[in-house]
Amino acid sequence: MHESQRYAAIIIDKILGGTNLDIAFKNVFENVKGLEHKSQTKAITYGALRYMGQSKYLIKSLVRKKIENRLVESLIHVALFQLSHEPHNDFTIVDQAVKATKKIDLRKSNFVNAVLRNFLRNKDVLTKRFLEQEEGQFNYPIWWIQKVKKQYKSDWENILNIGNGHPPMTIRINKRKIITKEYKELLKENEISFITLANEALILKDANNVKEIPGFDNGLFSVQDFGAQLASALLDLKNNYLVLDACAAPGGKTTSMLENSNINLIALEKSTHRARKIIENLKRLKLEATVITQPLDNKNKWWNKKQFDRILLDVPCSASGIVRRHVDMKWLRRLSDLRKFAYIQLDLLNNAWPLLKPQGKLLYVTCSIFKEENEEVISKFCDNRQDVKRGELKFPKNVQHLKNQLVPTKYHDGLYYEILEKK
């Protein structure tokens, strides 16, 4: 266990230093042998990040001075999570954490031992106390809790709790390759149970690894949240439309649009590394699009001056609506980031708009639940223009939403959609 604890601590230390979870996992796993360590490390890293509001409170209560070594502090976060939420024997967890500390910094092993044993001695009192603090009860930074409370008067508690849960494993069946009925048979043959959300959208129960689901390499399905699968229908695509997917990587919505309609699609992505993912996905699903690795900006040098019938603008954002999938976000984001994202989002809208035909439609999307990146960006954009009309969106009955904001539930993430029509 101590190796998984140590790897988890290394990952958390990187995250506290500003690296995102995917990159931190990749860096650490390059040096890890054995699948067991990897899955155990992943499980405790996710757990420790989900419950870091509690462990932060506990560390403040148990340690007077600031812990200078952030890696040691990260290891304490990991062990405190395990002591509060995992079924292992308490003393095994402590012993293993001490062993892991010895590999990090021999001089700190007594200190870690003392902190964890002190916690165990006072576990009931401390647990009661952290549950009285909002940061400990909900496991988000205070600013995040306050914002959700203010913006979702009746749903706030539910939204925070959903964000701490396990995300559903939702797939989109590639209807160009297999009909839903046949694919469901394949799942049954493989004893994978599922819930049907829509014709192509299924939640798979107890499936975690795409390789264990039939037909991934053959392009029979993609993993995509149900909320994200709605983009293609909301954009009202017709045969032979010229469509721009302006922030396209890794291509979840690009490929969804191509499976649903016969369109000419340009997938634009500024990051070369991320654009490769679009190409991989197109290849796997046997779909075709023109992938351009350039930015959407005020020059748009890549553009041949042919205006688009439809534009999908799935902008970078705080990811607050998918925090259960990116548990690092709640500790990486700062309140001030919302203003920075809003600035970028408005800029992208301004740069995409001239590319749209009159009577064309642009679908603005975020995976954020914060108004600053959604409603407020759209209002600012529309306030300054005469040639835009906000359209109406109809969501399926099994999607929970407050106007254009999808409220995260156990069936879908918290995306925001807005359709803008050009007069």
Q: Which residues are catalytic?
A: 367
Report the b/e string of 272-296 with b at 16+ CB within 10 A.
eeebebbbebbebbebebebbbebb
Q: CA 229, CA 201: separation in Å to the nearest integer? A: 8
Site for ligand SAM in 64-83 (CB under 6 A): none
* Single residue of 248, 289, 346, 420 touching ligand SAM by CB under 6 A: 248
Answer yes or no whether residue 175 interacts with ligand SAM by CB under 6 A.
no
Stretch of 5-13, 290-298, 395-403, 408-416 contacting ligand SAM, by CB under 6 A: 290-298
From the CB of 271, what's the least distance to ligand SAM, in Å? 4
The alpha carbon dihedral of 202, 206, 209, 213 has a sign of: negative
DSSP state of 270: S
Phi then psi for 363, rounded to 5 degrees? -105, 115
Nearer to ligand SAM, 78 or 173 (CB): 173
Answer yes or no whether residue 373 interacts with ligand SAM by CB under 6 A.
no
Nearer to ligand SAM, 348 or 388 (CB): 348
Nearer to ligand SAM, 112 or 367 (CB): 367
From the CB of 226, what's the least distance to ligand SAM, in Å? 13
What 3-state class would DSSP assign to 243?
strand
Nearer to ligand SAM, 49 or 315 (CB): 315
From the CB of 118, what's the least distance to ligand SAM, in Å? 43
Nearer to ligand SAM, 53 or 227 (CB): 227
Strands 201-204 and 194-196 come out as antiparallel
Nearer to ligand SAM, 267 or 388 (CB): 267
Phi then psi for 40, rounded to 5 degrees? -65, -40
- Tally of CB atoms within 10 A around 154: 7
Residues 280 and 210: beta-carbon distance below 8 Å: no
From the CB of 269, what's the least distance to ligand SAM, in Å? 5
Which residue has tokens 């502090």? 73
Nearer to ligand SAM, 133 or 307 (CB): 307
Answer yes or no whether residue 272 interacts with ligand SAM by CB under 6 A.
no
Phi then psi for 12, rounded to 5 degrees? -65, -40
From the CB of 348, what's the least distance to ligand SAM, in Å? 6
End-to-end CA distance of the chain: 62
From the CB of 83, what's the least distance to ligand SAM, in Å? 36
408-412 contacts, C-beta under 8 A, 24 or more apart: 408/159, 408/162, 408/163, 408/321, 408/322, 408/324, 408/369, 409/162, 410/162, 410/165, 410/168, 411/168, 411/195, 411/197, 411/203, 411/226, 412/168, 412/170, 412/197, 412/225, 412/226, 412/227
From the CB of 48, what's the least distance to ligand SAM, in Å? 26
* Single residue of 113, 184, 300, 316 touching ligand SAM by CB under 6 A: 316
Q: CA 337, CA 318: separation in Å to the nearest integer? A: 7
Answer yes or no whether residue 276 interacts with ligand SAM by CB under 6 A.
no
Answer yes or no whether residue 159 interacts with ligand SAM by CB under 6 A.
no
Answer yes or no whether residue 350 interacts with ligand SAM by CB under 6 A.
no
Question: In this structure, which amino acid lies at residue 250?
Answer: P
* Single residue of 271, 290, 350, 398 touching ligand SAM by CB under 6 A: 271
* Single residue of 117, 177, 274, 276 touching ligand SAM by CB under 6 A: 274
Answer yes or no whether residue 268 interacts with ligand SAM by CB under 6 A.
yes
Residue numbers at the binding site for ligand SAM (CB under 6 A): 228, 247-253, 268-271, 274, 295-297, 314, 316, 348
